Every structure is written in structure tokens, then in C-alpha cells.
Amino acid sequence: MTRHLRTGIGVVLTAIMLFPVYWMINVSFTRDTDMRASPPHLFPVDGTLEGYRAVLDQQLPYLGTSLLVGLGTVLLTVVLAAPAGYSLAKLRPAGRPAITFVLLIAQMIPGIIMAMGFYAIYLKAGVLNTLPGLILADSTIAVPFGVLIFTAFMAGLPDELLQAAAIDGASRWRTFVSVVMPVSRNAVVTVSLFAFLWAWSDFIFASTLAGGGAHQPVTLGIYHYIGNNNQQWNAIMATAVIASVPATILLVIAQRYVAAGVTAGAVKD
Amino acid sequence: MTSVRRARQLAAWGFLAPVVVYLLAFYAYPLYRNLDLSLRHYTVRSFVRGDAPFSGLDNYRTIFADPSFGPALLHTVVFTGVSLVFQFAIGMALAVFFAQNFRLSATLRALFLVPWLLPLIVSASTWSWMLNSDSGIVNWTLGLAGVDPVNWLTSPRWSLVSVIIANIWIGVPFNLVVLYSGLRTIPGEIYEAAALDGASGWSAFRRITFPLLRPVSAITLLLGLVYTLKVFDIIWIMTRGGPVDSSTTLATWSYRLSFGNLLPQFGPGAAVGNLLIVMALICGLIYLRIQRRQA
């Protein structure tokens, strides 16, 4: 097989794999009247922006909520996970294997079960349908992963670096804030990207904990669209395209972090 | 010296404390609440007031006797098994293909990640429309080959197949990336030596790649198992477990019991959820054991 032939086959395989993504984009530009045309319009030649206009009219609040929830989850996850990773990697706490074990197991608990427990707790505490409640629940998807990533990364930092800071009279907290965190930028980026993406994509927590309130994320926006009887598929698919933007940005600007995150045992919930 | 060590322990636990508190409050406590739910007889009123009577294993008896139990368990096993086999086989084939570095291979591999990164609701709704009985592109394409339209999502015969197809599509990238990174650890000299002995192509794959990749394969499959068992979004969005339970799994059944009806049945819903947790944990523990043995 020549190299060119391989490249050709690779392009064809990728095109097949990404066909549903193309179809989503194509349908998002298709006019209502052409939606059920036979044969289907394979290219958006007589395209329309109706779908995107509907997004602008109806979906902006949902998108805003998703953005806030995503950013809140990132902040909470990094603040909780980075110090824990530093401790596990460099300070050798007694009971380290047990903590690591719990973190690995925690990632395997089905989201639906967490959702039921949270629902019971939130109902009583009166925090159903609130932004902080949803952020807190979404962070459970990312925190164990975050601690493990920070631990793996910080274990690779040279001990001399930390000793030098200690000799200069820096406390452990100071060392962590001014030495460890700045050199751990890659880990911060990886954890933040995944935390944001998972919070942005979450459907289970949103539908159980925020489904009846004023703060609903875009996953519910799409879900309500599908539930409607007069299904406007160009509007649904336009919302889906917009909802895919964070994943696309992630892939374009942070490809190597994504691959690293996947192979680190990061698995989508 | 001991005081230095004690000071370090204190600092270590100081940095860990937030996460430990967090795990107790937002993992252990919800799980405990869920266990508690499954052991009580709840009505909507007692759920709000929190004074439901203890009912032992009644909820578990209820779900075992429920006509939905058998199908839900069977569908969970079929959904997980079939998804895993195809995800793994396709992922492996693609990993071997992409390992022969050619122009654009890195870029194309990155593009393959897209399905895995998209929000599940996006993938699920796109597949729903592609599989639409009357206007879906899939039935139109089949029509070109002379196949009659298939009621993918609305007939009990095909609904489980449909959600499995979508799930395989979503899971292939993960298998590809992990298996590809495993392939990279096999030294090229082994293949060169094998080529001198006349082994190449399929026989090299069977005799070298596959055995050497067995540890990575085991990890990939077990992680896949843990994560496929709990798949909920895709099935719920595409078929809601229907029609008539034909694509119901333990995860969607648990959700339907607790949140899908006007009269929620929190007790049985939590009981189904706990069954699911036991299954996931068994697979998870096997995974950790294998991983530790390899380390």
C-alpha cells in the first residue's frame, strides 16, 4: 500500500465516521418545507437561517445557564482537586492508597444513582432548581478525575524545586500557590477543559435537579425541543450545532490535552 | 524527626481535607440516601416529609417480581455486550490502521474524537433524526438498495438495535485512542524480526500485536464495561426505553421509576439503581485488580 492510498482510505473512513456530524449541520440549514423531501437534500443549497434565528430567540437563556454552570464547575473542581493532587503526589499522607482507591471507584458510580441521592437531599434542603445546586452535582463528575490528573502530573515535578522554595523560607501553602500551581499549567488546562465539557454536556443532573426551574442548561433546551410535537428539526439541529461548539474549540486548541486526558483513564460519563 | 514527620502529615491532610469532606458530603451521603430510599416505603408526601416507614427488602422484592425486570436485565446485558464487541473490534482495526503513520494520520485521528466529545444529547438527537422512519437518511439510503423502510425507533424489534448503533458510534473513539497508545509501546524491531521470519500482515497481528496488546485490551474492555453499564442519556433521549420496554435497561428503568411517571416510585427506583451499582462495582474491582497486577 502506498502512503497516498493510506491517506485516501483514512480520509474516507473519517468522512464516514463524521457523517452524522455533517448531517446535523446540513439539517440545521434545511428549510422546514424541505425537511421531509424525498430524496433528502444532501447539501444545504437552498439553505435557511431559520433554525439559528430560533436559537437566538429561544435558546440564549439556556446557553447562558450552561456557560455559568460550566465555569462554576471548572472553578470548584480545580480549587478542590489541585491541593489534593499536590498532597497525594508530594506530601505522602498516610492512607494515600485508600484515597486513590476511593477516587477510582467514585468515577464508576452511575450518574443516575447520584442523581437520585442528590434529588432526595436537594428537595429537603430546598436547593432544587438552583445554579449552585447544579454546579455542585456536576462537579462530582469531574473532581475524582481532576485529583487523579493533578496527582499524576505533580508527581513528575522535581523535588529540588520544592526544596529550593522551602530553603527560601516559603511555607507549604506558599510553595503550592507560587511554585507548584504556576508550573502545573498543563494539568490545570486538562482538568478545566474536561470539567467544562462534562458540565456543559450533562443531562442526567440537569433533568433531575434543574428540570423544573428557571435555570435550565442547553441540554434541556434541546430535550424540550425534541419533546414538542411540532418538531422543528432545523431549530433542534441548530441548537445541537451551537451546543457542540465547546467540544470543537476544545479539540482545535487543545488536541494533545484531550488525548492525554482520554488515555489517563478519563472516560465520559 | 517524629515532630517533622507529624508536621508533614498534618500539612498533607490539610491539603487533602477539602476533597475528603467533599467526598463524604457529595458522594458518600447521596449514596447513603439512595440506599435509605431503597429500604423504605415512600409516597410523595412521605418523601417530602421524610417520615417513610422502614420496609426492609420489600422494594427489592417488588422489582424482582416486576415484569420489567427480566427484559431490563437482558437488555442491559445485550446492550453492553454488543456495544463492547463492536466498539473494541472497530477501535482495534482503526488503531492498527492509524499506527502505520501516513500523511494526515494525526489530524484524522483527532477528528475521530469528535463523536466522543459531543454532548450525548447532541449525538442522540442527531441519530434520532437520521433513523426517522419516514424522512431519515438511513432509511432513504437503504431504499436505494431496495430495502423497505425500517421503523428503527418505533418498533420493538429494532429499538434496541438503534440505540446500540448510536452507542457504538460514540464509543469507538475511546477504544481507538487507548488501543492506539497501547500499540505505540510495541517496539518496531519485533515486527522487523517477525518479517524476517516471514510473518506479516494478519499473521503478525495475530501472533504479535494481539498478545502484546492483551493487557491494554483488558483494561479498555473493562473500563468500557463499567461505562456502558451506566449509559442512560442515549437510550432515554432516543427511545425512552420504549416502545413497551423493548429498549429498557436497568439505568433507564431506574430513572423511569423515580422520575418518569406522574407518581414517582422512589423506593423501587433506588433499588434498581443499587443493583446497577453492584454490577458496576464488581466490574470496577476486577478492573482495578488487573491494573494493579500489571503495574
In this structure, are residues A82 and A152 in contact, taking their beta carbons and an 8 Å threshold? no
Q: Is residue B123 part of a domain?
A: yes
Nearest Cβ partner for B117 among A94, A121, A247: A247
Nearest Cβ partner for A120 among B12, B37, B126: B37
Is B8 within 8 Å of chain A by CB? yes
**Residue-by-residue DSSP string for A54-74:** HIIIIIHHHHHHHHHHHHHHH
Say whether B110 and A240 touch across the interface (CB within 8 A).
no
Residue B220 domain boundaries: 69-294
Q: How many alpha carbons lie under 13 Å from residue A251 in its C-beta half-sphere? A: 17
CA distance to partner chain B, nearest, from residue A86 (Å): 8
At A215-262, the pLDDT tens digits run 899 999 999 888 876 678 899 999 999 999 988 887 777 777 766 666
Q: Which residues of B touch A203 (CB under 8 A)?
A: 119-121, 233, 237
Is B274 within 8 Å of chain A by CB? yes
Say whether A110 and B273 touch across the interface (CB within 8 A).
yes
Q: Is residue B14 part of a domain?
A: no
Q: Is residue B21 part of a domain?
A: no
Say whether B137 and A243 touch across the interface (CB within 8 A).
no
Q: Is residue B12 part of a domain?
A: no
At A122-137, the pLDDT tens digits run 988 999 999 999 999 9
State whether CATH 3.20.20.140 applies to domain A51-263: no
CA distance to partner chain B, nearest, from residue A62 (Å): 14
Separation between Cα atoms, residue B67 and residue B74, nearest integer Å? 12
Nearest Cβ partner for A233 among B97, B113, B129: B129
Is B235 within 8 Å of chain A by CB? no
pLDDT in 10s for each residue of chain B, 295 residues: 578 888 888 889 999 999 999 999 999 999 999 999 899 888 777 777 777 888 888 999 999 999 999 999 999 999 999 999 999 999 999 999 998 878 888 889 889 989 988 999 999 999 999 999 888 999 999 999 999 999 999 999 999 999 999 999 999 999 998 899 888 888 888 888 888 888 778 888 888 888 888 888 888 888 888 889 889 999 999 999 879 899 999 999 999 999 988 788 889 999 999 999 999 888 888 888 887 777 6
Read off the CATH number of the domain in which B124 is found.
1.10.3720.10
Q: Is residue B15 part of a domain?
A: no
Say whether B126 and A24 touch across the interface (CB within 8 A).
yes
pLDDT band of residue A267 (cuts 50, 70, 90) is: very low
Is B31 within 8 Å of chain A by CB? yes
Q: How many domains does chain B have?
A: 1
Q: Is residue B36 part of a domain?
A: no
Say whether B276 and A204 touch across the interface (CB within 8 A).
no
Q: Is residue B210 part of a domain?
A: yes
Burial (CB count within 10 angstroms: exposed 0-12, middle 13-18, buried 19+), residue B70: exposed
In this structure, are residues B283 and B222 in contact, taking their beta carbons and an 8 Å threshold? yes
Q: Is residue B37 part of a domain?
A: no
Cα dihedral sign, A157-A269-B73-B58: positive
ipTM of the complex as predicted: 0.89
Is B58 within 8 Å of chain A by CB? no
Domain boundaries, chain A: 1-48, 51-263
